[in-house]
Chain A
């Protein structure tokens, strides 16, 4: 019977024997991407490794993180000091706090590597992107901690208008513009009258609507689930602060602008212009996405990206859609840290990793290969030299359907060739559009919450209780807003605000 025990043990042992070692001279560098939909990378990686063997002196392996898994995988890899992950996607939104990880020492300082091997990189991407990736490290000094992706470098919120329905109701885009958010009641009433009681004309992402109406930004480093801080932009001149508030961080929910917004939303909600499901966190997104797909709305919100109106998602709605921007495109810290690749400080091959990132961001051949795949497998070239992922039967090529990385998460997208669906000249127009983005006064400001983390946790929970319902009008601001504000005060809002404003002052004083 002891044999049985030893059998169990040896079986467990055999099972745990990991993959055989690779007999290769070149070191392996591993990169973890976000948002991939890749099930077969063999052909591409073979070509990539052929191409980079001499140029980088390493062999590349890729961990294709997906949208849903990346945060957990990345957090785990970074916190555990995993030396098997050399390069990792990072950004300032979602839960991938670039600034926090940099400050806590998880990323490798790239300053010397950029000087030694980064000439091509510096030439390929704008100086501003390098600056955005230069943040405070564990030593309290600023260093470059990531290779910043050159992609949509400005941001803009827009109202998404169902023009087809609008015209049917006897209104024009100009009416929507002129009446403004506070005056849309009459259009909504008309829509309700025509389309029936079960129709909800105002399809908002409530927190985006709040920023759209008040012209405020997401402050980088603020509590993530529900933002607590507001910085008011000056829509007349985005590069200047507002006269009313100046360069100050405000309690998002304590301004009169917020109160006016919440009251109007309440009026719209009570009148039945807003779907109640939008006011519940977990049903909000599904409801909005579904109604959008069905073109079942009149006015909605959209964080706009260039070319969005031509994307399949919008064209498949079968209606004419127009985007009314709330401001000109602007550049804030969050968007300037939108998609980057950092090198882990646990990496054993930082030099090779940087050489690879340098090449990836400056060499169109490598970028195209890793992003679009191999010609003839993942795509074909049209006569005009456009990349076409579709076969003659108008179906996605099998190679492509098994290999779809997230383009914007990889690096410098401006060196990619145009695709057939985007049309010739798209990349150039894209670049021009984003070059027009205006830098707001607090561009580069990063709120460091480490001293008020306990307060932030408590405030996040208070905000989770009230903010969405108020933003959506599901509860009455007359009674709930004062309750919310006093709950915030009890949870330490003033201390949080003071910390933020002290840091803003220090930032602007530099």
Chain B
């Protein structure tokens, strides 16, 4: 092969492909510092989740609490069914949503990349326009609920986020930057059908792009809670974990702001409010699985560089 021939002539490509130690060190410092800045707040969240309530009341949130406590976690486990059920819901919604959404995105973006596709501009605009203009919250709610029946079911938590014009454009850009047109032409000449070309030839080349979009979509589903607020009224068994957390947060905010209006009942409600530490413990519960899933996506995003795409 040409490549190996070049290697022999010019020595190892590895040395050619890398910066010197000085530049490398500089990169490590810059990236390392920024990475640290990114992770410290999460460490902070973990610290708060192990802080005792008294310490928070006395000195607020701090990196050095006065005393420690695992109360938040014991309480979290006492939530029992509710916690695990919403956990399971989060997984279910994220997995189904991501698979369907990525598939739809992949299928929609591919023809938009094909210059020889007749309706390319039409469908491109169809998607792009919705990125700028929308009907607004209430009209969308009415359509989803009364026309599509998205109410008190899992579909209500999945369907409204299935498609994202932003991801279409990202995906299309990945096609543009990594799939050579000749490759598709060659495949067509070889008698490959359009779907065959897409899944057998194009798919392996754009895995970094697909992994990236999948990551964005999965994060979107995992973090979503407003759909639950809108569409879930009676069937509380299907709400995801993120909504459980947001509900606690919003309850606390509302009670604090309106304590004067709710009367003596508010005091009872306020004493039952989950503490700050519990909220942070739930944040930990929410972040850990998606952070663990991250390397799975990353395998395709980062390591791709060493694999590269085969051309010519």
Q: Per a CB cutoff under 8 Å, which of A71, A285, A307, A408 touches B256?
A: A285
B271 near A338 (CB under 8 angstroms)?
Answer: no
B267 near A312 (CB under 8 angstroms)?
Answer: yes
Q: Per a CB cutoff under 8 Å, which of B103, B236, B260, B267 touches A311?
A: B267
Which residues from B are CB-within-8-Å of A76? 137-138, 141, 230
B233 near A5 (CB under 8 angstroms)?
Answer: no
Closest to A408 in B: B265
Could you count the A-B residue pairs with CB atoms below 8 Å apart for me: how many are there?
Answer: 150
- Scan residues 1-28 of chain A and give those whose CB is less than 8 A from a CB of chain B: 1-2, 4-5, 8, 11-12, 15-19
- Scan residues 137-155 of chain B and give those whose CB is less than 8 A from a CB of chain A: 137-138, 141-142, 145, 148-155
Does A167 touch B at the CB level, under 8 Å? Answer: no
Known: A61-B234, A307-B264, A408-B265. A79 touches B250 (CB 8 A): no
A11 near B153 (CB under 8 angstroms)?
Answer: no
Does B269 touch A at the CB level, under 8 Å? Answer: yes
A338 near B195 (CB under 8 angstroms)?
Answer: no
Q: What is the bound-complex CA distance between A294 and B271, given in angstroms?
A: 13
Shortest Cβ gap from B108 to chain A (Å)? 11
Which residues from A are CB-within-8-Å of B107? 5
Known: A152-B263, A289-B256. A312 touches B268 (CB 8 A): yes
A39 near B82 (CB under 8 angstroms)?
Answer: yes
- Interface stretch among A62-70, A138-146, A502-510? A62-70
A18 near B249 (CB under 8 angstroms)?
Answer: no
Which residues from B are CB-within-8-Å of A93? 258, 261
B268 near A67 (CB under 8 angstroms)?
Answer: no
Which residues from A are CB-within-8-Å of B236? 39
B260 near A406 (CB under 8 angstroms)?
Answer: no
Closest to B272 in A: A37
Does B290 touch A at the CB level, under 8 Å? Answer: no
Q: What is the bound-complex CA distance between A66 and B107, given in angstroms?
A: 41
**Using an 8 Å CB-CB cutoff, how does the interface string of A177-210 with B read, 1 for contact, 0 for none?**
0000000000000000000000000000100100
B247 near A18 (CB under 8 angstroms)?
Answer: no
Dominant SS at the A interface? Answer: mixed
A68 near B253 (CB under 8 angstroms)?
Answer: yes
Known: A8-B103, A67-B250, A285-B257. A311 touches B154 (CB 8 A): no
B262 near A35 (CB under 8 angstroms)?
Answer: yes
A67 near B254 (CB under 8 angstroms)?
Answer: yes
Please indicate which of the listed interface residues B107, B137, B257, B261 has the most CB atoms of chain A within 10 Å of its own CB: B261
B159 near A12 (CB under 8 angstroms)?
Answer: yes
Number of residues from A at the complex interface, CB < 8 A: 64
Q: What is the bound-complex CA distance between A8 and B99, given in angstroms?
A: 10
Does B75 touch A at the CB level, under 8 Å? Answer: no
Closest to A285 in B: B256
Q: Per a CB cutoff under 8 Å, which of A63, A151, A308, A312 touches B233?
A: A63
Q: What is the bound-complex CA distance between A316 and B250, given in angstroms?
A: 24
A305 near B269 (CB under 8 angstroms)?
Answer: no
Does B18 touch A at the CB level, under 8 Å? Answer: no
B153 near A406 (CB under 8 angstroms)?
Answer: no
A68 near B251 (CB under 8 angstroms)?
Answer: yes
Closest to A289 in B: B256
Closest to B265 in A: A408
A80 near B268 (CB under 8 angstroms)?
Answer: no
Q: What is the bound-complex CA distance between A291 and B250, given in angstroms?
A: 21
Does B104 touch A at the CB level, under 8 Å? Answer: yes
**Using an 8 Å CB-CB cutoff, how does the interface string of B85-106 with A read, 1 for contact, 0 for none?**
0000000000010001001100
Does A450 touch B at the CB level, under 8 Å? Answer: no
- Scan residues 185-207 of chain B and give those whose CB is less than 8 A from a CB of chain A: 193-196, 199
A208 near B137 (CB under 8 angstroms)?
Answer: no
B233 near A1 (CB under 8 angstroms)?
Answer: no
Q: What is the bound-complex CA distance between A407 and B261, given in angstroms?
A: 14
Does B56 touch A at the CB level, under 8 Å? Answer: yes
Closest to B57 in A: A290
Q: What is the bound-complex CA distance between A125 and B264, given in angstroms?
A: 21
B263 near A1 (CB under 8 angstroms)?
Answer: no
Q: What is the bound-complex CA distance between A81 and B141, given in angstroms?
A: 11
Does A94 touch B at the CB level, under 8 Å? Answer: yes
Known: A8-B104, A80-B141. A35 touches B265 (CB 8 A): yes
Q: Per a CB cutoff under 8 Å, which of A8, A18, A79 touches B100?
A: A8
B159 near A408 (CB under 8 angstroms)?
Answer: no
- Scan residues 7-40 of chain B and give those whose CB is less than 8 A from a CB of chain A: none
B267 near A286 (CB under 8 angstroms)?
Answer: no
Known: A16-B153, A18-B151. A79 touches B261 (CB 8 A): no
Please indicate which of the listed interface residues A69, A71, A312, A316 has the most CB atoms of chain B within 10 Å of its own CB: A69
**Using an 8 Å CB-CB cutoff, how does the interface string of B41-66 with A read, 1 for contact, 0 for none?**
00000000000001011100000000
Chain A residues in the interface with B (C-beta under 8 A): 1-2, 4-5, 8, 11-12, 15-19, 32, 35, 37, 39, 61-63, 66-69, 71-73, 76, 79-82, 84, 91, 93-94, 151-152, 205, 208, 285-286, 288-291, 293-294, 296, 302-303, 305-308, 311-314, 316, 338, 404, 406-408
Contacts A152-B264, A305-B264 supplied; 4 other A-B pairs, CB < 8 Å: A17-B149, A76-B141, A305-B263, A408-B265
Q: Identify the 10 closest CB pairs spanning chains A and B, nearest first.
A: A68-B250, A303-B260, A1-B195, A285-B256, A313-B267, A305-B263, A15-B155, A16-B155, A67-B254, A68-B251
Q: What are 8 A-B interface contacts by the 8 Å CB criterion? A: A17-B155, A63-B233, A67-B250, A80-B142, A152-B264, A285-B256, A290-B57, A311-B267
